[in-house]
Structure 1
């Protein structure tokens, strides 16, 4: 009898495990299908994501103007044009000083290459001029042999730039419409959904919007910290073009990993060609220290507080997003993780049983 009872319990446990495994497989298949559809629609989704990020960044100014009596279209147009002019001004702020000192920087690059050649010709490398010439000749021969690959890569690069311009234009148009018609979205969504979904989905969407705004503001604050500290270090060392480099650092902070590497490379290169290798090493040390503090201390702390995520979750989300989708994955990993946390928190609130207060016990006076 006991053996039969144990066998029945074992079969029941196996059936439960098999059912749970089947459910997990179905969930994984649905997730894979959703990711495939997302990748197929990515040329449309990516401008939408950028437009949302820009709208959350510029919405406080739009809300301020609308509260002062501005019409929605006028407020959105003003903010969009201001953003475009500010972006173009930032590019000019970086490009004009660099162009003004282009001759000096070019001469510094040539001097740096000459110093590197002299250093390589001495001990311990002892590389002679004939070896350098031979290496250059072989490099030229390789370039001539792979001219077809270079042309195809150039065409691909031009196509990528064109796609980037199209994406930027679409994102700006979407940003304008989000700023203009954003407050109408939730009431419209409420009218379109049936039953309880008319309440739940708009509530989740509103929380996700607030979370996305917190992410963009915290990222902007982190970029400001990077720009201030790195700019201050460059000013102390005496590196030229401090203001353009600080602006470049702030803008690059919105592109995780690669943005910081690019801004740091530009700063070290300018320090090398203008001040020499010693100051370049000092600038490199400053950038490494600031980036380590930003990546491991400031960013996780700020984003964990503003998004309601633990600092470890933020770090893991960025790592996972970068491994799955590169720079794009690193950029959207944290807000996606925060939105998942928002949806889970809302579901837990709705599915949890309400706390029942104890019923007071009636007492009778004894005679």
Structure 2
């Protein structure tokens, strides 16, 4: 019995397989070309960003600082203070708090630095004595030869070290200029910030301006949530580590706790650097056993932060999965170093805000959700959502 299909029995609506495959390749080619154009545009924007990074970086820092200082500025403005005066008072207050904290830890640093220096000298002597015993069996002459070799190496490279010192001094000067520029930008952001979105709407037009207003408002709220979350996480780290250092009798416990708080704003790198410093102080002042206990304390606190506090709080405030946060910090730190590690999470959060907004607009146009389900944060966002919903009904 033959199983071949009779061409006469093939339904008239059947489409040739070659036609279907051709349409699939046509669709793939069309979208590949679009993706290539988008990628080329992104590459050009990336190149422009690299050329303008000297000016872009202070703006990003100023925006992050402004999100922290905006709530007290808004409160002072609500009490009738002029915009400029409210901005100046808040900035001055923030500087007083910052330098006040530095002033609080400076006396302890000065008073205990002599004891730490003596402990370091004793520790080096003890290390030299231990090195002369088994299994190292390094006599004093061998150690002295090593020190002499190191001194000669440094003398031979004096020019390179001097060049590095000049580069470091230049970097410090550039940092001071950047700091001043950031403070000036923060003043203008606090003073004229509420007028920014109306200006954007006037320039870009009602439709585009409404979209930009909604995205900017959501991004601003996300940045504020990131700073508040990071401050909470850093404060918990500082309190736990500070208490542990006090219990273990490590000197400079308060200063190290304050450094832990500020270091927490630089993901991974800041915690590692301050933790290493704490272990080093404990080793010099109290000995190896205390240093090991401090190391265990810091590892335990970092595990609590990395696996519990940070993913939970940042995931709730920025609606980002812990894996995305870790991936963003890793990529940012690898490509741009400490600056990239610091800016990676807020940039990723703002990018997620933009993607979620685009997805929301697609869902409105497709009729998958209504304007009430979109949950806009501005009046302009509500108007846009209603327009997109009406367009979905019309189509």
The equivalent residue for 2:95 is 84
String of CA shifts for 1:104-155, please: whole Å, max 9, x gaps. Answer: 1110111111111111111101111111111111111111111111111111
1:10 matches 2:21 = yes
Q: Sort the Cα spacing of 1:356 and 1:135 in 2 relative to 1 into closer, same or farther, 3 A.
A: closer
CA distance in 2, matches of 1:79, 1:52: 15
- The corresponding residue for 1:344 is 355
2:300 maps to 289
Gaps of 5+ in 1: 358-367
Residues 94 and 248 in structure 1, CA contact (< 8 A), matched pair in contact too: no
Q: How does 1:1-367 map to 2 (within 5 A)?
A: 5-352=16-363, 353-354=366-367
Question: 2:112·2:251 contact (CA, 8 Å) conserved in 1?
Answer: no
The residue aligned with 2:378 is: none
How far apart are residue 89 of structure 1 and its match? 1.7
Measured in 1, the distance between the counterparts of 2:241 and 2:116 equals 20
CA distance in 2, matches of 1:43, 1:123: 55
Q: Shift of residue 355 of structure 1?
A: 5.7
After TM superposition, give the deviation of residue 20 of structure 1 in Å.
2.1
Q: Structure 1 356/305 Cα, relative in aligned 2: closer, same or farther at 3 Å? A: closer
1:318 to partner: Cα distance:
1.6
Q: CA deviation at 1:7?
A: 2.9
CA RMSD of aligned residues (A): 1.9
CA distance in 2, matches of 1:77, 1:10: 66
Matched length: 357
**Cα distance in structure 1, aligned partners of 2:52 and 2:100:** 33
Segments of 4+ moved more than 6 angstroms: none
Question: What's the TM-score, normalizing by structure 1?
Answer: 0.92
SS of the counterpart of 1:92?
A: helix
Indicate if the aligned counterparts of 1:72 and 1:180 stay in contact, CA closer than 8 A: yes
**TM-score where L is the length of structure 2:** 0.86
Provide the rounded CA distance (Å) in 1 between the counterparts of 2:294 and 2:249. Answer: 10
